[in-house]
Amino acid sequence: MSDRKLETLLLSEDDVIAAGGLDMKKCVATMEDVFRVYATGDWRMCGGDGVAHGGVVTFPDNPPVPTMPKNTPDRRYVAMCGYLGGRFRACGGKFYGSNRENLKNGMPRSILTAFLSDTDTGAPLAIMQGCILSTMRTGAMPGVANKYLQASTAQTVGIVGAGVISHACCLSLIETMPNCREVFIYDIVEERSEKFAKEMEADTGIKMTVVHSMEELVRNSDAISLASSGTNPAYIKTEWLRPGATILITGGGLVDDELLEDPDTGIVIDCVGMHKDNMASATENGVIQEFAKQWSSYQYFKLVEAGKIPEKAVELGDVVGGKVNLRKNDTHHNIFLSSGLSLEDVGWIYEVYQTALEKGIGTWFKFWDEPHWV
């Protein structure tokens, strides 16, 4: 057989799970490695500057053609890819379609396909179910950030939004808070909070307590994870915060301007360049007001633009890499703003792929024995 034969490894959802896709301890460690590589500059994402989140296809409210899909909540197609160097040295990412209507049919809101490619040839190494991979790497990030930003006295976690992402966020925060004794949960639909609490207490053995307002959650929590979506994002008032509390915003969420303006408040962003690019793209596409209503990074950059605060945000890679230490004492507050990088996907896909190879998991798909055209 020619050495030009090309095969790629296919991994189903069951295969991804068997290859450790649900191992939060390993996922957190992998995300730390990803951001250590990030700090070296050995990475690229989409766009000419290499910092773009990805490519997004959305639909108009009033399509010009009858057969074109109409804009509905969370309806979009997204392609995210990147190159991650260091020990990974791989290209990859994910493609997904999202539509909130899926939930009515028992399907995930977003259905994802993950891929990994050889950096030199571009040949596909693996194609796999991406829903679990994406959820895990997203949920791992608040845990990674909190590991470096939390007060030494931290013992309680607050989870805002009882969706799938919050399951993973909760796991990562418990994993990285050594003295965690209780988790508080708030969702505008209390039945979801109750279900979440029952499942997570059984999975983790940590006490789960459902609360009935944002204020109650914030006042009881040393680390607060916001991973909710919708037109009315969660809002945190400064007066509710416990001394030393850390706020970890993975989904939409807003805080008082005064908290961002406080010189003692530490602000960490996963990729400053990407957040700026997101704002520019939102402005170009006429959706900046929607962006402004959802993202604390918009609040932060507008305050910088207005001259109310210096551009003081540091990047997570510098925190994980040990270049910056924002936790000076157990009384000031830290905020982590995450929008999700394709580099995180590449890192976790790579880890699961390597485990699948070691354990002989998955199905090989032949692209060709020899290419028809060269």
| Count of other CB atoms within 10 angstroms of residue 93 | 27
Report the alpha-carbon distance of residue 41 to residue 184 in Å, rounded: 38
Lowest mean pLDDT among 76-80, 158-162, 249-253, 329-333: 249-253
Cβ proximity of 218 and 211 under 8 Å: no
Q: Does 3.40.50.720 match the CATH number of domain 141-341?
A: yes
Is residue 306 scored above 80 in pLDDT? Answer: yes
Q: DSSP letters of 49-87?
A: TS-B--EEE---SS-SSTTSPPP-TT-EEEEEEEEE-TT
Q: Does 3.30.1780.10 match the CATH number of domain 6-134+343-368?
A: yes
Tell me the pTM: 0.94
Each domain of the chain, given as residue ranges in start order, spans 6-134+343-368, 141-341
Q: What is the pLDDT of residues 264-289, one digit of tens each?
A: 999 999 999 999 988 887 777 666 76
Report the alpha-carbon distance of residue 69 to residue 71 in Å, rounded: 7
Domains 6-134+343-368 and 141-341 share a fold: no
Q: What is the pLDDT of residues 219-237, one digit of tens each?
A: 999 999 998 766 678 999 9
